[in-house]
Amino acid sequence: MTSVAQQIRDIDVRRRIDMLADPGSFLEFGSRARHRVTAFGMDAKRPVGDGVVTGNATIGGRPVGLYAQDSAVLGGSLGEMHAAKIVSVLRQAERARIPVVGLLDSGGARIQEGLAALDGYGAIFRANAQLSGRVPQLSLILGSCAGGAVYSPALTDVVIMLRDGAHMFLTGPQVVKAVTFEDVTPGELGGSEVHTRQSGVVHLVADHPAEAMDLARRVLSYLPDSCWSEVPMAEPAAPGVLPALPDNPRTAYDVRQVIDGIVDGGSFLELQARFARNLVIGFARIEGRAVGVVANQPQALAGALDISASEKGARFVRLCDAFGVPLVTLVDTSGFLPGTKQESNGVIRKGAKLLYAFSEATVPRLTVVLRKAFGGAYIVMNSKSLGADAVFCWPRAQMAVMGVEGAVDIVYRRELGRDPSARQDLMADYEREVMASHLPAERLSADEIIEPWQTRSVLAATLRTLASAVRPRFRHDNLPQ
């Protein structure tokens, strides 16, 4: 075990709660609960509390439901009473309309309790689903978590995991070995590297439990207590410096610098930063008002959308819509990534999730086209026709069915067959007639052409105007994508 992992083990469950909650605010419930199993010699091991500490507390003065599993007690495994305690936290949060934070460290269903343990998980999953979209649910993965201890987090809105010393897998390495004969370490099977880069299960990674708690507090600061309450405001802060885009439209740049140049300084909290890097998502603030940012990232896959980006974006858009957080979309994409792999893996079905999520969203929705918005990706990225409240474009933005080369080769195939030298002229014609930036504004596909330096103030003013937009309070759940 690495020293970081050892340090984490040494932070016991009550200390973890103290690190998260406002000092002295934790009120415990169910501290005397014990299991009643006698099989497997369990009657000799009946620890009070049954391996989980449950109750409520305040975080930044706001009430939350809280549970923390204790891996030092029966491996943090979940039996009937352990589950009943967690369900009780969830039900109280549902009734009080407050967020829930789970500190997870559990080997999953307690094997000795059999079906009672599985039914316990069933009840938790059902409660997670019933709370979804109504109150924010956060999961912190602070140890080796297996089985139900990873499925419950997957049903919640934001998952925060320790970089070292924490794992998430449906079945542990021993079971994998027994079933598939595969020798795999816990880290290879379900370490933070796997879940931040490949599976996308984890939204945020922390080097230490204290950082994980800070991240949880930060996530909560962008979200309301429930879908029925207001999104909290913060003190406005000056933005960073907005970089100029490269002169060459094919040169990549880091869209996160553009985000930093628009939003309140230091307010951007990127989620799933290493998964589907071609789409950047995260919470930020503009003049103190929380927003969800969705931006194409030209630095990865040239900003093209693919299956992973669609699923990542769709769930985030639904999360923001569920909790009344306005959406700001920054567009620079030449389209969906073409190819047999994407098609056979279901880009039609999965890309449709992003299309659906934007189409149904009722929060204020603003779009800025920075450079390119082509084809299906133009529509998907919160276009006017999908219901954006306002679309702005920067002066050199191009919005069209496809880029000039592809378009000319298709439209003028016969002419080019006869005279290939006409290509340059035809491209210039297409750029002038179809891609000029004044065209989208002429036909209201964009509401205004704005200079980059105006972006923040225009977005801030539009958000202020739309703040009173009437929207249904409970919108929908946050179905895992």
Query: Residues with catalytic annotation?
Result: 147-148, 376-377
Pull the structure tokens for residue 480: 């895992």
Give dist(CA 145, CA 75) in Å, integer.
10
Largest CA distance in the chain: 90
The one-letter amino acid code at 165 reads: G
Residue in 17, 57, 59, 109 binding ligand HXC, rule: CB under 6 A: 109
> 117 or 450: whose CB is closer to ligand HXC?
117
**Residue in the block written with tokens 């509401």:** 447
- When the beta carbons of 186 and 288 are compared against ligand HXC, the nearer one is 186
Helix (H) or strand (E) holding 209: helix 209-222
With contacts defined by CB under 6 A, name the span among 34-42, 110-118, 297-305, 316-324 that binds ligand HXC: 110-118
Would you say 146 or 263 has its CB closer to ligand HXC?
Answer: 146
- Which residues does residue 103 pair with via DSSP β-bridges, in sequence order? 68, 140
Q: What token pair was written down for 226?
A: 């429930």
Pair 289, 319: CB distance under 8 Å: no
Least CB distance to ligand HXC at residue 163 (A): 17
CB 389 within 8 A of CB 462: yes
C-alpha to C-alpha distance for 69 and 91, rounded to whole angstroms: 18
Q: With binding defined as CB under 6 A, does residue 74 bind ligand HXC?
A: yes
Choices 61-69, 104-112, 210-218, 394-402; region in contact with ligand HXC by CB under 6 A: 104-112
- Distant-in-sequence, close-in-space partners of 241: CB < 8 Å, separation ≥ 6: 261
Contact string (CB under 6 A) for ligand HXC, positions 19-58, x = contact: ----------------------------------------
Q: Which two tokens stand for residue 432?
A: 């002038």
Regarding 146 and contact with ligand HXC (CB under 6 A), the answer is yes
Characterise 193 by phi-psi region: left (phi > 0), alpha (psi -120 to 50), beta (else): alpha
User: Looking at beta carbons only, is 109 or 162 nearer to ligand HXC?
Assistant: 109
Which of 174, 424 has the CB closer to ligand HXC? 174
195 is a site residue for ligand HXC (CB under 6 A):
no
For ligand HXC, the binding residue among 49, 55, 108, 351 (CB under 6 A) is 108
From 30, 65, 102, 147, residue interacting with ligand HXC (rule: CB under 6 A):
147
How many residues line the site for ligand HXC (CB under 6 A)? 20
| Token pair 């950047």: residue | 280
Residue 280 in 3-state DSSP? strand
List the one residue from 27, 115, 175, 210 that touches ligand HXC (CB under 6 A).
175
Q: Does 82 bind ligand HXC (CB under 6 A)?
A: no
In the complex, the smallest distance separating the C-beta of residue 251 from ligand HXC, rounded to whole angstroms, is 46
130 vs 465 by CB, closer to ligand HXC: 130
Q: Which stretch binds ligand HXC (CB under 6 A): 103-111, 214-222, 351-359, 423-431?
A: 103-111
Burial call 258-286: b when 16+ CB within 10 Å, e when fewer: bbbbbbbeebbbbbbbebbbbbbbbbbbb
Q: In the complex, what is the shortest distance from the CB of residue 395 to ligand HXC, in angstroms, rounded to a whole number? A: 52
Binding mask 340-359 for ligand HXC (x = CB under 6 A): --------------------
In 239-278, beta strands by DSSP E: 269-271
308: Cβ contacts below 8 Å, ≥ 6 apart: 200, 275, 276
Among the listed residues 266, 313, 273, the one whose alpha carbon sits nearest the alpha carbon of residue 288: 266
Strands (E), 125-249: 137-141, 144-146, 158-162, 167-169, 204-206
Residue 190 within binding range of ligand HXC, rule CB under 6 A = no
What is the rounded CA–CA span in Å between residue 411 and residue 88? 63
Residue 46 CB, nearest approach to ligand HXC (Å): 14
Min dist CB 74 to ligand HXC, Å, is 6
Residue 75 interacts with ligand HXC (CB under 6 A)? yes
Q: Is 111 one of the binding residues for ligand HXC (CB under 6 A)?
A: yes
Work out whether 191 is an interface residue with ligand HXC (CB under 6 A): no
Considering only the stretches 171-179, 274-282, 351-359, 412-420, report the one whose residues sit in contact with ligand HXC under the rule CB under 6 A: 171-179
Nearer to ligand HXC, 58 or 171 (CB): 171
Distances (CA, A) of 334 to 296, 382, 405, 441: 10, 15, 12, 19
Residue 362 near residue 336 (C-beta atoms within 8 A): no
- Minimum gap (Å) between residue 132 Cβ and ligand HXC: 17
Candidate list 54, 56, 128, 144; residue touching ligand HXC; CB under 6 A: 144
| Chain contacts with ligand HXC (rule: CB under 6 A) | 74-75, 77, 107-111, 118, 121, 144, 146-148, 151, 171-172, 174-175, 186
